[in-house]
């Protein structure tokens, strides 16, 4: 018996070893194991007018998500499988151009998809620890967030004071379906918006905007005072959610162009003023029909003619501005919804005044060389000539305005000097005669 047992045990051990080796050979190795494919959480559908090939899906760090999204084209829409529970951004390779023609909110292409959190992991605490588990967080529905913009006024209006066009842009983030939007559903990272200018200029570079959360209360606004340099000014918008070009609209305007920014006052100068109808970028804009222009003068001045119009196939009308006084003049022109404005300074005619006084002094001094002139000191004659010339100059200025005397008499240095010299010479002679007649009576 013992002899047969001695022969059985080696055979049993050999058979067990062979069985274990076979089982090991049939078991899959860790290297051969493959992870099961990730199942889509849900399928989303959104508006998409472009081709499927232009679709890009990015994570919040800007990296392309290398997963199977299975895009399917539908009329005016596209649907894709949501392969992850992390938020992701949908964009297009092609940058679209949108025209801001109304004051209604425009939803920009692309957006941020935040998957739902309906499935939550249950936390199991060992009994006996005395710790009560926290209540589970409420689940949040899927949210499709879109970047939007509102411009007001549209088209942009002309501001004559700053010589720029003015509008206000407000950017915000809103859900595509308000019924499934939870206000408490905050963004994991702020939406950054950077703006670049193309075909327009501003005094300052537009600042970057940060939107912290969705909703009206978190909108970011930008006041844009700009001047177009081309017929199609573009505001390039680069953001986390959307890249788009916004074409700004602006009204034509009237440019009031005086020959100079200053003129001699007191009614001694006339100046031609051109009013031109131009496009926003400054190109002349011809009228298609007779366009009346209403003129308004703020300041002492007169316009001739007082009523203007731009003839068909023309872009310019001209009137004559005449000074009156010394205060600044503001010329305003209005043609329908078009406006224009310019300022003209009125200055004291120091040159003609000084030359008139010099002429009066010279005329008084020349009186001493006349035969039979009284012996009066030369400084006294010159002083009398200055006084008479000043009076004559003031009378000449009034005569230009009220008696229609030639403007060249007192408005130019040569005319003022001649007027002063003649009035000084004649005036001193008159004063001497009056003095001679009065002397016997005084004696």
CA distance 404 to 196: 59
CA distance 158 to 280: 9
pLDDT for residue 282: 92
pLDDT for residue 5: 45
CA distance 271 to 301: 11
CA dihedral (148, 58, 120, 139) in degrees, to 10, reads 10
**Domain 253-347 classification at class level:** mainly beta
CA distance 416 to 427: 16
Q: Answer whether the bond into residue 351 is a cis peptide, omega within 30°.
A: no
Q: Collapse the DSSP code of 131 into the 3-class scheme (helix H, G, I; strand E, B; otherwise coil) and give the result.
A: coil
Region class of 290: left (phi > 0), else alpha (psi between -120 and 50), else beta: beta
pLDDT for residue 42: 65
The answer to whether the CB of 336 falls within 8 A of the CB of 326 is: no
Percent helix, strand and coil across the chain, each rounded to 5? 25, 35, 35
Segments of the chain with pLDDT less than 70: 1-42, 66-68, 83-84, 117-142, 177-186, 370-376, 401-404, 435-436, 438-443
pLDDT for residue 327: 93
pLDDT digits (tens, 9 = 90+) for 245-297: 999 999 999 999 999 999 999 888 899 999 999 999 999 999 999 999 999 99
Question: Hey, which residues does 211 pair with through a beta bridge?
Answer: 191
Please list the residue range(s) of the chain that carry CATH number 2.60.40.10: 253-347
20: Cα within 13 Å, side-chain hemisphere: 6
pLDDT digits (tens, 9 = 90+) for 309-339: 999 999 999 999 999 889 999 999 999 889 8
CA distance 344 to 318: 16
pLDDT for residue 127: 62
Separate counts of helices (H) and strands (E) for the chain: 5, 25
CA distance 104 to 49: 20
């Amino acid at each position: 018996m013992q002899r047969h047992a001695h022969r059985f045990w080696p055979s049993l051990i050999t058979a067990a070893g062979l069985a274990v080796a076979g089982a090991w050979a049939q078991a899959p190795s860790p290297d051969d194991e493959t992870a099961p494919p990730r199942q889509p959480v849900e399928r989303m559908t959104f508006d998409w007018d472009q081709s499927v090939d232009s679709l890009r899906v990015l994570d919040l760090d800007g990296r392309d998500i290398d997963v199977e999204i299975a895009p399917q084209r539908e009329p005016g829409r596209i649907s894709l499988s949501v392969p992850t529970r992390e938020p992701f951004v949908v964009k297009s390779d092609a940058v679209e151009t949108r025209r801001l023609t109304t004051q209604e909110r425009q939803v920009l292409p692309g957006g941020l998809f935040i998957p739902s959190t309906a499935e939550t992991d249950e936390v199991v605490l060992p009994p006996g620890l005395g710790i009560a588990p926290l209540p589970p967080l409420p689940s949040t529905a899927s949210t499709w967030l879109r970047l939007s913009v509102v411009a007001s006024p549209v088209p942009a209006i002309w501001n004559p004071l700053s010589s720029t066009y003015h509008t206000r842009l407000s950017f915000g983030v809103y859900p595509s379906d308000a019924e499934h939007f939870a206000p408490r559903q905050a963004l994991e990272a702020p939406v950054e918006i950077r703006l670049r200018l193309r075909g327009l200029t501003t005094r300052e570079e537009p600042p970057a905007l940060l939107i912290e959360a969705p909703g009206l209360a978190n909108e970011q606004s930008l006041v844009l005072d700009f001047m177009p340099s081309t017929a199609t000014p573009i505001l390039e918008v680069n953001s986390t959610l959307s890249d788009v070009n916004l074409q700004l609209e602006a009204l034509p305007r009237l440019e009031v162009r005086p020959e100079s920014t200053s003129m001699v006052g007191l009614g001694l100068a006339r100046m031609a003023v051109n009013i031109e109808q131009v496009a926003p970028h400054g190109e002349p804009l011809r009228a298609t029909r007779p366009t009346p222009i209403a003129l308004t003068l703020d300041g002492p001045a007169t316009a001739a003619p007082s009523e203007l119009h731009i003839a068909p196939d023309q872009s310019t009308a001209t009137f004559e501005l005449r000074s009156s006084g010394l205060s600044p003049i503001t010329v305003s022109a209005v043609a329908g919804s078009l406006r224009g404005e310019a300022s003209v300074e009125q200055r004291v005619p120091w040159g003609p005044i000084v030359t008139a006084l010099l002429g009066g002094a010279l005329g008084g001094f020349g009186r001493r060389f006349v035969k039979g002139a009284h012996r009066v000191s030369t400084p006294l004659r010159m002083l009398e000539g200055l006084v008479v010339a000043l009076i004559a100059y003031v009378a000449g200025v009034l005569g230009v305005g009220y008696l229609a005397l030639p403007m060249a008499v007192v408005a130019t240095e040569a005319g003022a000097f001649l007027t002063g010299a003649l009035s000084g010479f004649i005036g001193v002679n008159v004063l001497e005669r009056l003095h001679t007649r009065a002397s016997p009576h005084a004696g």
